[in-house]
Amino acid sequence: MIFVALQEAADHGELILVDGGICRFHRRRDGIVTVREILVLPQQRRRGIARAMMVEVFRAAGGSAVQAKCPVAYESGQAFWRAMGFTLMAEKDGISLFQRPANP
């Protein structure tokens, strides 16, 4: 199942693969870009890989708003989204919704 999702993302230009990391995102019908997954291998963390992938997502978003969800208990993930300029929009069922506003 995950392979189908990855193939579809790749076909739509919504997949970033780098040495040590992967990011899958999706542009919704309303134009907001949603980060579906962003993963960096444990031995590759703290090297700017996730930040670099997010720069690519912002470029692909073309100024549109970008959203991401993160478990409330995942403190380093919460800190990452804030450091990337995202604002906490809501929390529900242990999940935080972050959004980076559209660029004018």
Count: domains in the chain: 1
Dump pLDDT digits (tens) for 2-34.
Answer: 889 999 999 999 999 999 999 999 999 999 999
CATH of the domain at 46: 3.40.630.30
Q: What is the pLDDT of residue 104?
A: 64
What do you get for the CA distance between the two ends of the chain, in Å?
37
Task: Say if residue 96's pLDDT is above 70.
Answer: yes
Could you tell me the pTM of the whole model?
A: 0.91
Alpha-carbon distance 24 to 3, whole Å? 12
Note down the domain range covering 22: 2-100
Q: Which helix (H) or strand (E) holds 46?
A: none
Are the beta carbons of 25 and 44 closer than 8 angstroms?
Answer: no
Dump pLDDT digits (tens) for 29-70.
Answer: 999 999 999 999 999 999 999 999 999 999 999 999 999 999
Provide the 3-class DSSP secondary structure of residue 23: strand
